Structure 1
Amino acid sequence: MTGREVRPVGERALLVGCADLAEVLGLHAALSASPLPGQAEVLAAARTVLVRATDRPARDRLAPVLRDLPAPPVPPAAGDVVVIDTVYDGADLTAVAEHTGLSVQGVVGAHSGEEWTAAFGGFAPGFAYLVGPTTLAVPRRASPRTAVPAGSVALAGTFSAVYPRSSPGGWQLIGRTDAPMWDLDRRPPALLRPGDRVRFRPVRERVTTSGPAEAPGRHGPAGAHSGPAAPTGGAGESAAPGTGAATVTGSALTVLAAGAQSLLQDLGRAGLLDLGVSPSGAADRGSARQANRLVGNDGGAAVVETVLGGLELRATRHQVLAVSGAQVPLTILHVDEELTHPPTDAPFLLPDGHVLRLGHPSAGLRAYVAVRGGVTVPEVLGSRSTDLLSGVGPPPLAAGTVLPVGPPPGRAVGQPEPARVRVTEELAVGVVLGPRADRVTPESLERLLGQAWTVTDRSNRVGLRLDGAPLERADDAELDSEGTVAGAVQLPSDGRPVVFLADHPVTGGYPVLAVVRDADLDTLAQARPGDRLRFRDAVLPCEDAAQT
């Protein structure tokens, strides 16, 4: 075996190229069975394995080892046969027919007439990459949709898949199903596992009933069940308790107004990439840690992440709070009377029955509210974070949500600290070029680094969508889906970059030209629509110790 190509993916990950899917699965199995020193996590994709390292030195030590590490073949799994009832009326069905030279009925016949196999997971929880008939090989859309409906049956390259829930995506949509692809109340939660065989059965309309839903059998049809699947996380597992109007007696904060968007976040859930679950967690981790530090909490305690102000919280029992991140005016009220205006980035008392109101920020986008003792809603997959892409974790906060507060920690509250977010005319973040910087022309690479990009209003926790002079690809060949990381600068076919944030998909099929450095990820989280963003201090792949 000749040495594999190993490319850096930012400062703490490597993309290992393989000859084919068989080698991918063999390498993934070898690394999973016997992790290398400094290896944090691995993720299989179509032709690559993403290896996350514990830090930059570990990444550089892993690179030469991965180049020649043996990857014994993995015997095919004796997977189940799962039948998925499908209505073939997708928005891109006609376009797929035109691209393949088949009729619409020919596409339906090819897709439903052959057996598919689940090769690997990724992108989102419950999303399985299925390999099958090559007659249906089609490119991704030129520009990804911001929201693909849950249950969409789709094609991209030589793969098919079912979107487990509404999410951004660039695959071609040919149909829809009610099959619950991901359900945390089911064991295992994913309907399709690597090695499973899949058949799509054409139906005229999705079948729904009014009774309670039950998970379909592993060997039976997966499209006939009662309505849409419950939100991932499960009732009573991810929902913040006490959302009704009942009197609150324990130590708690009650949400009176949630503002534009308020979520619970901690430092995220690691180790679940193979399930399609990204780490998620606070978008600006430094500010979340700072708020916790100020009230004496552990840095990983759950906090409230809120966008553009408008959040109102009422204390049950005396509470010590701190607000960090975006610079928001704070007001403490009692019986609708304004009493005081505590500073941000410092601990303060919110007395029993009093209300904290956050105004519109003068700088930044996301503010973090920590309470001494932390918010103690139940964990989902080891974290209290809300992942908007996957739907894992507590639901977004709403008026009436009650947030239970844990017992006070053993350490004292902190002293006021300098603000981490300040007004600036232009944001600048450092990047490591690659792994696919060679997919654009040299002029476009200069344009990526030379111009100030504008953050658009289509941005969210999944990623920042940028506008500016579009970039041109040097290679228009379709790129197989690959593992990716927060801070990845991905280039869709329209030439305008998307920079992944905390809730990014774990795999993507557009080339990643660069990855924002770890120290600058928090800056991205505070970028508002209309802000100007510039990439700087680029490290070229040939200058990076991991390039082999």
Structure 2
Amino acid sequence: MRFLPVSLNALLVELSDLDQTLALLASLQRDPLPGVEELVPAARTILVRFRPASVGLATLVQAIAGRNLAPSAERGSTLIEIPVRYDGEDLAEVAQRLGITPAEVVRRHTGSEYTVAFTGFAPGFAYLSGGHPSLDVPRRSTPRTRIPAGAVGLAGTFSGVYPQASPGGWQIIGVTPVAMWDLDREQPALLQPGYRVRFVDIATLDVESETDTWAGASKSAIDAPDSGRTRDALAPEQTALQVRATGLLTVFQDLGRHGQAGQGVSASGAMDQAALKAANRLVGNPSNGAALETVGGGLQLQSLGETVVAVTGADAPLTLRTADGRQWSPPSHQALALADGDLLSIGQPRAGARCYVAARGGFAIAPVLGSCATDTLAGVGPAPLSVGDLLGLQPSPAGAVVSEPALPAADLPTLEQEVVLDVVMGPRTDWFTPEAVASLATQRWQVTPQSNRVGLRLAGDMLLERAMGGELPSEGTALGALQVPPSGQPVLFLADHPLTGGYPVIAAVAPYHLDRAGQIPVGAWLRFNPIRAFEELTPAAAPGDAGTFRDLR
């Protein structure tokens, strides 16, 4: 086992092969370690996220190093058969590459039983191991911008099925009508780690109607605006906020949906979690309640009935206009009592990028997989707001106390000043040249317009060049990871980042700077401050406390 630093609350365990990875995963699941919050397995690694207040890094490394990696003889009892129409656009190319006919590719693909090794990339996407050993093909050199839902593909020794339409670089050999992801099922992901899978050539089956026999294309997990967004859904005397303008993007967010890695779903959640908690406290809600997250200016909400709201996060001007035309600028970061017909508008932020709007009692919105967070990449959670939506409010609980006014964060990012983010080097710093490692910290990086909740796409004068070539097997990625694609320009992963990734991560933003990262506007300049040099961890030499890192400034 190798132990590689990821962040102050995460480490990556690298193993020799998939069998060892699954053996360690089984051991950690059978006998969980105190303080470990989540395990994200991949082809040869397990990302371990832990609570530094509950377990020291040295203790954690020592405990994992002592686990038995002998393969388990147990096999899953659940067998899923997936019918496939083998007419994929890469089938002929795969056959040519392997020196066999397309029919032989189909025969080999359907002739072996697979096991769900791990999940990631997208909700319901499972990496299937154990197929015919000859079916070992590289990813496409140029990924496609759109692969349809149900596409069956090969990459390396793995097979997989795309649960929804998305970009992708796997070699597509067919398509299935079976939905890999459906929120109407008790377990939305059809394929769970440990399940056995067998592919069946649909041409060999005698069926009258595929549509009647199997589920159709994968259902999007983002809810379309439903009856909960219309006036008819409001109960008598129920108050609400009506959306008059949405701004660039306004979505529901809470603290995220943790513990869903087994279905390929990452946590998502508010980009600035301290601001979300503050907004809820100001109106007397539990700090983990759902609030609105809006980027930039432009959101307008009209009160239907008497409501109490609070706006936190970015330093943005507010405007309140009454039904009879009076208008003034109330302060943010305090509770605001709105009368029936009052219109609250949020202007363009002077500092920061995202505002949070909480309403007393909380929004009457149904959670998805235990959370109201909208994951814009995975397509999980309530739909983004649309003009005209009615956001019903729940009654405020008895005894809830409206908090005193607060102050906005003192270090909100602006376009005028460079933003400094502390980073922990690793886990793949050694994949880059010494010059690239040095330039990560010595040059400044600009946030490009392609940035969003998935990540900040950065541009710098000096590209981060690799010292190691070849493909990196997909592995778990942490919130705040700085992943470097072949372009050499890093991407800073934020709340909606994918659960796993195939490009090396040179460093990760320290957890205490993640809220600041979530407030950085497009066009701002960043600098990265390494607080710990990259060094492989060993059971004997791991730091005694995950929070005690040498400051390299």
Q: TM-score, normalised by structure 1?
A: 0.87
1:5 equivalent in structure 2: 2
2:501 equivalent in structure 1: 508
Deviation larger for 287-296 or 264-273: 287-296
C-alpha separation between the residues in 1 aligned to 2:288 and 2:63? Answer: 33
Once the two structures are superposed, the pairs formed by residues 329-340 of structure 1 within 5 Å of their partners are 329-335=317-323, 337=325, 339-340=327-328
C-alpha spacing 1:200/1:517, structure 2 compared with 1 (3 Å): farther
Paired AA for residue 158 in structure 2 = F
C-alpha separation between the residues in 2 aligned to 1:31 and 1:355? Answer: 53
C-alpha spacing 1:422/1:438, structure 2 compared with 1 (3 Å): closer
- In the alignment, does 2:84 pair up with 1:76? no
Mapped contact 2:239–2:393 kept (Cα < 8 A): yes
Once the two structures are superposed, the pairs formed by residues 2-81 of structure 1 within 5 Å of their partners are 4-55=1-52, 58-60=55-57, 61-74=59-72, 75-81=74-80
Mapped contact 2:77–2:196 kept (Cα < 8 A): yes
Q: Percent same amino acid at aligned positions?
A: 44
C-alpha spacing 1:450/1:175, structure 2 compared with 1 (3 Å): farther
C-alpha separation between the residues in 2 aligned to 1:16 and 1:452? Answer: 31
Give the drift of 1:64.
1.5
CA displacement 1:309-339 (0-9 Å, x = unmatched): 2211111221121111222221122348351
2:115 equivalent in structure 1: 117
C-alpha spacing 1:59/1:146, structure 2 compared with 1 (3 Å): farther
Give the drift of 1:439.
0.8
Paired AA for residue 251 in structure 2 = L
C-alpha separation between the residues in 2 aligned to 1:528 and 1:202? Answer: 50
User: How many aligned residue pairs are there?
Assistant: 528
Q: 1:412 aligns with which of 395, 402, 422?
A: 402
1:318 equivalent in structure 2: 306
Paired AA for residue 357 in structure 2 = V
What runs of 5+ residues in structure 1 fail to find an aligned partner? 217-223
Paired AA for residue 395 in structure 1 = A
Give the drift of 1:152.
3.4
CA displacement 1:91-120 (0-9 Å, x = unmatched): x66775676566777766655565443222
- In the alignment, does 2:230 pair up with 1:244? yes
C-alpha spacing 1:324/1:147, structure 2 compared with 1 (3 Å): farther
CA displacement 1:245-294 (0-9 Å, x = unmatched): 54854122122222221110010111111211111110111211122222
2:366 equivalent in structure 1: 378
Secondary structure of residue in 1 paired with 2:123: strand
Mapped contact 1:324–1:419 kept (Cα < 8 A): no
C-alpha separation between the residues in 1 aligned to 2:208 and 2:247? Answer: 35
Once the two structures are superposed, the pairs formed by residues 37-186 of structure 1 within 5 Å of their partners are 37-55=34-52, 58-60=55-57, 61-74=59-72, 75-86=74-85, 88-90=87-89, 111=109, 114-131=112-129, 132-140=131-139, 148-167=147-166, 169-186=168-185
Q: 2:457 aligns with which of 458, 462, 465?
A: 465
C-alpha separation between the residues in 2 aligned to 1:545 and 1:107? Answer: 44
1:220 equivalent in structure 2: none
Q: 2:435 aligns with which of 431, 440, 443?
A: 443
Deviation larger for 431-440 or 13-22: 13-22
- In the alignment, does 2:477 pair up with 1:478? no
- In the alignment, does 2:542 pair up with 1:542? no
1:492 equivalent in structure 2: 485
Secondary structure of residue in 1 paired with 2:65: helix
Mapped contact 2:254–2:269 kept (Cα < 8 A): yes
Mapped contact 1:283–1:501 kept (Cα < 8 A): yes
C-alpha separation between the residues in 1 aligned to 2:452 and 2:293? Answer: 13
C-alpha separation between the residues in 1 aligned to 2:100 and 2:531? Answer: 46
Paired AA for residue 328 in structure 1 = A
CA displacement 1:486-532 (0-9 Å, x = unmatched): 10111222222121111111111211111110011112212233222
C-alpha separation between the residues in 2 aligned to 1:461 and 1:336? Answer: 38
Mapped contact 1:88–1:108 kept (Cα < 8 A): no
What runs of 5+ residues in structure 2 fail to find an aligned partner? 543-553
2:220 equivalent in structure 1: 231
Deviation larger for 387-396 or 261-270: 387-396
2:260 equivalent in structure 1: 272
1:253 equivalent in structure 2: 241
Deviation larger for 351-360 or 172-181: 172-181
Secondary structure of residue in 1 paired with 2:472: coil
Deviation larger for 494-503 or 144-153: 144-153
1:219 equivalent in structure 2: none
1:454 equivalent in structure 2: 446
CA displacement 1:139-192 (0-9 Å, x = unmatched): 445676676543333333322212212445454455544431111211332222
Give the drift of 1:411.
1.8
Deviation larger for 343-352 or 94-103: 94-103
Q: TM-score, normalised by structure 2?
A: 0.86
Give the drift of 1:67.
1.4
Q: 1:308 aligns with which of 268, 288, 296?
A: 296
1:288 equivalent in structure 2: 276
Paired AA for residue 3 in structure 2 = V
C-alpha separation between the residues in 2 aligned to 1:152 and 1:298? Answer: 42
C-alpha spacing 1:515/1:398, structure 2 compared with 1 (3 Å): same
Give the drift of 1:86.
3.7
Mapped contact 1:232–1:391 kept (Cα < 8 A): yes
Secondary structure of residue in 2 paired with 1:366: strand
C-alpha separation between the residues in 1 aligned to 2:107 and 2:246? Answer: 48
Secondary structure of residue in 1 paired with 2:221: coil
Mapped contact 2:315–2:408 kept (Cα < 8 A): no
C-alpha spacing 1:416/1:37, structure 2 compared with 1 (3 Å): closer
C-alpha spacing 1:116/1:261, structure 2 compared with 1 (3 Å): same
Mapped contact 1:347–1:416 kept (Cα < 8 A): no
C-alpha separation between the residues in 1 aligned to 2:476 and 2:445? Answer: 25
Deviation larger for 404-413 or 291-300: 404-413
RMSD over aligned Cα atoms = 3.0
Paired AA for residue 33 in structure 1 = R
Secondary structure of residue in 1 paired with 2:134: helix
